[in-house]
Chains A and B, each alone.
Chain A
Amino acid sequence: DVKVTQSSRYLVKRTGEKVFLECVQDMDHENMFWYRQDPGLGLRLIYFSYDVKMKEKGDIPEGYSVSREKKERFSLILESASTNQTSMYLCAITSLYGYTFGSGTRLTVV
């Protein structure tokens, strides 16, 4: 089975900090995605990548950037964290049937 690993389950960061969320897959999948999930708003796509060094904006890219230097790793960067970025962040890859998700990172910005 494909494994998608998000490095942190829970993070607490201060306003203005630069935050890195890491996602690693153990297969050779091209497509990787970052979503945030908020009550009442569902899943919203932030960025996705279909190959190394390739990225495309999703529906809500403002305040975020991404990095994909190696195929297995896709990083989400919050340049200057703000309280409205408190959320559940989910990484996903395209698999045979839809997506495989990581366990999620619950980020709180104080």
Chain B
Amino acid sequence: QKEVEQDPGPLSVPEGAIVSLNCTYSNSAFQYFMWYRQYSRKGPELLMYTYSSGNKEDGRFTAQVDKSSKYISLFIRDSQPSDSATYLCAMKGQGAQKLVFGQGTRLTINP
């Protein structure tokens, strides 16, 4: 079993829809949780960063962490075609230098 599980998709939704992307993990030591967005043929870029449990909102994006369920989510409201990308979850424990990544979910927003 992988330490971090993420459905690779692909996921295709119409413009304006609410998108929910999710990851589950098995290591209870993880405390730092990230979402990266990767456009085609580019490197991943940090989208959201959360420490421990709770919600964090940034514009149309909301990151949720539920440590009791070992489950993290990224919500995209009013999705736009420009949100079409691969979304990777990542996480690490206290003091760790290496991130553990999910496989990435390929998302397409259709105009």
Interface residues of B in 84-100 (CB under 8 A from A): 88, 90, 92, 97-99
A-B contact count (CB 8 A): 51
* B-chain residues with CB within 8 Å of residue A98 when the two chains form the complex: 32, 34, 36, 46, 49, 90, 92, 99
Q: How far is the CA of A79 from the CA of B104 in the complex (A)?
A: 29
Interface residues of A in 51-107 (CB under 8 A from B): 88, 90, 94, 97-104, 106
Q: Is the CB of B42 closer than 8 A to any CB of chain A?
A: yes
> B interface vs A, CB < 8 Å?
8, 32, 34, 36, 41-46, 49, 88, 90, 92, 97-99, 101-104
Q: Is the CB of A45 closer than 8 A to any CB of chain B?
A: yes
Q: How far is the CA of A94 from the CA of B43 in the complex (A)?
A: 15
Q: How far is the CA of A34 from the CA of B34 in the complex (A)?
A: 19
* A-chain residues with CB within 8 Å of residue B41 when the two chains form the complex: 9, 88, 104, 106
Given contacts A98-B32, A101-B44, 9 further A-B contacts (CB under 8 A): A41-B103, A43-B101, A43-B104, A45-B98, A88-B41, A98-B49, A99-B46, A101-B45, A104-B41
State which of B42, B45, B46, B104 has its C-beta within 8 Å of the C-beta of A42.
Answer: B104
* B-chain residues with CB within 8 Å of residue A102 when the two chains form the complex: 43
Known: A31-B97, A40-B8, A48-B98. A101 touches B103 (CB 8 A): no
